[in-house]
Amino acid sequence: MAIGFIRKFAKWFFISLNILICAIFLVACLSPFLNPHNWAFTGFLSLAVPYLATLLILFIIFWLVVKPVRAFIPLITLLIGWKQLSVIWAWHPSQKFNETKSDSTIRIITWNVRGMFGLSNSGYTQLQNRAQIAALINNYNPDIVCLQEFNTSYLETDPEWHNIILFTQKCPYYFFARDMNSSHFVSGTILFSKYPIIDSVKIKFPGNAAESLIYADILKGKDTLRVFTTHLQSFQFTASDYENLEKIKEQNKEALQASENLYSKMKLGYSSRGIQADMVRNFLDKSPYPSIVCGDFNDVPNSYTYFRIRHDKQDAFLSASFGIGRSYNAIAPTLRIDYILPDDNFKIQQFDMVDEGLSDHHMLITDLSLKK
């Protein structure tokens, strides 16, 4: 009698749990269509998609062993959410990055350089790191470099911190969106180019956002390209917020208050990025030239932000890489939040992510060729 009850309970428990996870996954699949400015919960669910998909795959295996016919429940759910699954993993394991650049290609680098300081609090080490960051980028011989959280001194009497000169030998043309000023330092998003910049525009995001969208029209031979780069609203986590994450993991007595603080910051971040993504899309649609958008979007591929900005563009990572593509080194192993998205006027030749421990983000690099 007891064994029969346990079996019946286990059967309905696993069926109910499977249906619940299927339902949450399907709601999460609405993230690309619901602006988190109005539907904040979709932003949180977009973070969970890889984990929900993994649970559904485990359920498929479980049901194939226990009751094969029930495996159709999670299988059909995954097929319905294929659009979400297709942007998580890249499937090109055989492609290796060739550091020698062809003259017929355009090499683009984008990187959130974390103020050009590296990850150390030592002033001496920071000086070494800024030189290493510049050397790493320059060694790849890029044609266009887009840097977020770029920081430099604007005092001629402070040449050792005048970071712009570290790049202008290789890429003499640049456009700098000065978003924040502190003492004699200025920071923001900057675009360097080996080719002449014939026009450039900065679009400030609304509200108190420190970030902005910039673009430059770049003349390469007879072709004009429009390159957009941006740093979208972050969650603005502080050191205490990361400590709060640990409190939540440990489930100590302060976990509830920590959760409320983090939820408020994340909700604001999702809402702001929903507005910013719409603005970026609007300017992308107006481009009269072949265009590329890149930068730190601060959102995963399953988000409204990613799908709204990408739209019909290509994703260099998905086209020429392999794996899940983590580009941010903290919090979770599934955070691909940095992107290079060229339109269909370009052919993606190769792509790579480089992590030398000089920032909390990885450097993204791709070679593109312009279709004739």
Average pLDDT over residues 185-190: 87
Report yes or no: 153 and 166 within 8 Å, Cβ to Cβ.
no
Q: What angle in degrees, to the nearest 10, is found between the helix axes of 239-250 and 255-285?
A: 120
Report yes or no: 196 and 165 within 8 Å, Cβ to Cβ.
no
Q: Does 325 or 257 have the greater pLDDT score?
A: 325
CATH 3.60.10.10 for the 106-370 domain, yes or no: yes
Interval 124-175: pLDDT, tens = 577 788 889 999 999 999 999 999 999 888 776 676 668 888 898 899 999 9
Report yes or no: 109 and 363 within 8 Å, Cβ to Cβ.
yes
How confident is the model at residue 53, as a pLDDT? 95
Instruction: Evaluate if residue 184 carries a pLDDT over 90.
Output: no
Consecutive H or E run containing 192: strand 185-193
Report yes or no: 167 and 133 within 8 Å, Cβ to Cβ.
no
Give me the residue spans of the domains in the chain. 2-86, 106-370
Q: What angle in degrees, to the nearest 10, is found between the helix axes of 41-66 and 2-28?
A: 140
Q: Which is nearest to 320 in space by CA: 357, 364, 288, 283?
A: 364
Q: Does 46 or 250 have the greater pLDDT score?
A: 46
Interval 40-58: pLDDT, tens = 888 889 999 999 999 999 9
Mean pLDDT of the chain: 87
Per DSSP, the chain holds a count of helices (H) and strands (E) of 9, 13
Q: What angle in degrees, to the nearest 10, is found between the helix axes of 72-80 and 2-28?
A: 10
- What DSSP string runs through 3-49? HHHHHHHHHHHHHHHHHHHHHHHHHHTTGGGS-TTT-THHHHHHHHH
